A and B are shown apart, each in its own frame.
Chain A
Amino acid sequence: MIAKAYALFKKDFSSELRTRYAINSLAMFIIVAISVILFSIGNETINESLTGGLFWVVIFFTAMSGLARAFVSEEERGTTLTLQLIASPSTVFSGKLIFNLILVFCMNLVISLLYSALFENFIVQNFSLFLLTFILGNIGLAVASTIIAAIIAKAGAKGTLYPVLSFPILLPLILTCVQLTLFSFDGTSFEEAQFELAIVVGYDVIMFTASYMLFDFIWKD
C-alpha cells in the first residue's frame, strides 16, 4: 500500500510541477499576507503573543488557499473517476496526505523563515519545543485539510465552504499551537507544556484515525 501511495504522491508532485496548481497560490498568499501585516504595523513593534498569533493566522489561511487542491484539482479536471478506477480509497487518501504533508512542511518552513527574518519579536527560546509544535501542528493541519478537501471537492461552492468547514475543525489545533509557540518564545520547559502537547498529539491521532475510517464513505458517491 505504501508503494502505491508513494506512486500517487509522485503523480501529484509531477503534475504540480507541470501545472503549478497549488504552489503558485500558496507562494502568492504567503507574500501577500506577510506584506499586509508588515504594512499595517508600520514602524510599531508588536509583542510576542501577537507575533505568535499572527504566525498561525498566516499558516491557517495559507493552508486554506492551497491544501484543498489535492482533491479539488481532481474534481475540476474530471479525473476523480480515473483515480477511483486505479486505486483503493486508502491508497488515494495516503497519497494525497503525503502530498499535503510535504506541501504544509515546505509552506510553513518558508513562513517561519520569513517571520524570523522580518519580525523582531519572533525569537524562539526553547527551540526543541518550537520544532515539536511545528511538526505536530503541521501533521494535524495536513490530515485535517486533506479530509476536509475530500469532503468539499464535490460541493458547488468549494472556495467558500473550505475555510468555513475547516475553521471549527482546526480551531482546537490552532489555539493549542499558538499557546505552544508562545511557550517556546518564553522558554517554557517541556514539562510545563505537557498538557498542550498532549492535546496536539491527541488531535493528530484522532484526526488521522477518523479520516482513514471516514474516507471510504466520502470517496464513494
Chain B
Amino acid sequence: MNSFSIQSQNLSKFFGRRLIFKDINFTWKDNGIFGISGPNGSGKSTLVKIIAGLIAPTSGKIIHKNSDGEIIPEKLHNHIGFVSPYLVLYEEFSAWENLKIFAKIRGVPFNKEKVLYYLSQFLLDNRKDDLVKTYSSGMKQRLKFAFALMHSPDVLIFDEPTSNLDEEGKKVVYKIILEEGKNRIVIVASNEMKDLELCQEVLFLEKYK
C-alpha cells in the first residue's frame, strides 16, 4: 500500500479580486478515490493545479508527505500523474517517442513492457508509432492516461477524465480509476455523475465561496 498523504490547510485562491474558493481543508491519505465537483468556473481545475504544484494558492498551503517526510516542490512532479483536457503532448513526436522522452526528462527508467501494457489498455498499441498530430481528440486523451501512469506516481489527478472519450474509452478509464484507487490516491475533478459515483468522498466547491 502507498504511504502518501495530501493535506490542504486553509487553502484559498483569488484571481485578482475574484474569489475562486476559500478555506478548503482536507486530508487524503494512502489510497482511495476522491472527487472534486462544482459548477463551471467554480475552480475545479484551479484546485487540482494547486494540488499538483503547478500554480500557487493565494493563501494556505498543500502539504504532500510520503514515508520520508514532506516532499519539496522541486521534486513533486515525479510523485504526480496528471490528466486534463488542457494538457497537450508533443504533436511532432509519436506516442512512443513522447513517452520515452518524458521518462528520460523525469530521470526514470523507460519500462517498455509497462508502457506497452498501458498503451494496449487504452487501445493505442497499434498506433504507437504514429505522430500524435494524426490522433483524434479521444486518442490524445487516452494517451494522456499512459503519460500519467507510466512512472507509477503516488497521486493520480484526473481533471475531467472522460472528456472526448467514447463509451469504450470511458469503460477503460473507470476500470483504471477503480484499480489505481486501491493502491494510491486518485483525485477526480468532474461534473459527470458517473465519474463522481466512483469516489468515496467528494469536495463540493460551491461550499467554499
Contact = CB atoms under 8 A, between A and B. Distances in A.
Chain A complexes with chain B: yes
A87 B105 contact: yes
A221 B49 CA distance: 10
Interface stretch (B27-35, B88-96, B166-174, B182-190): B88-96
Nearest to B77: A85
Interface in A4-59: 4, 7-8, 10-11, 14-15, 18-19
Contacts of A84: 54, 77
A84 B77 CA distance: 7
A81 B56 contact: no
Given A81-B86, A221-B54, A221-B56, A87 B93 contact: no
Nearest to A79: B88
A37 B49 CA distance: 50
Chain A interface residue bracket vs B: 20 to 34
A77 B77 contact: no
B1 interface: no
Interface in A163-221: 220-221
Interface stretch (A88-96, A112-120, A127-135, A153-161): A88-96
B92 A4 contact: no
B145 to A, nearest CB: 13
Contacts of B147: 82
A85 B54 contact: yes
Contact of B105 (A18, A91, A220): A91
Nearest to B107: A4
A221 B56 CA distance: 7
B52 interface: yes
A95 B75 CA distance: 17
B149 interface: no
A219 B97 CA distance: 25
A14 B101 CA distance: 10
B23 to A, nearest CB: 21
A31 to B, nearest CB: 25
Given A85-B82, A220-B54, A220-B56, A8 B92 contact: no
B88 A78 contact: yes
Contacts of B101: 7, 10-11
28 contacts: A3-B104, A3-B107, A4-B105, A4-B106, A7-B101, A7-B105, A10-B101, A10-B104, A11-B101, A11-B104, A19-B92, A77-B90, A77-B91, A79-B90, A81-B84, A81-B86, A81-B87, A81-B88, A82-B89, A85-B87, A86-B106, A87-B77, A87-B105, A88-B75, A88-B77, A220-B55, A221-B54, A221-B56
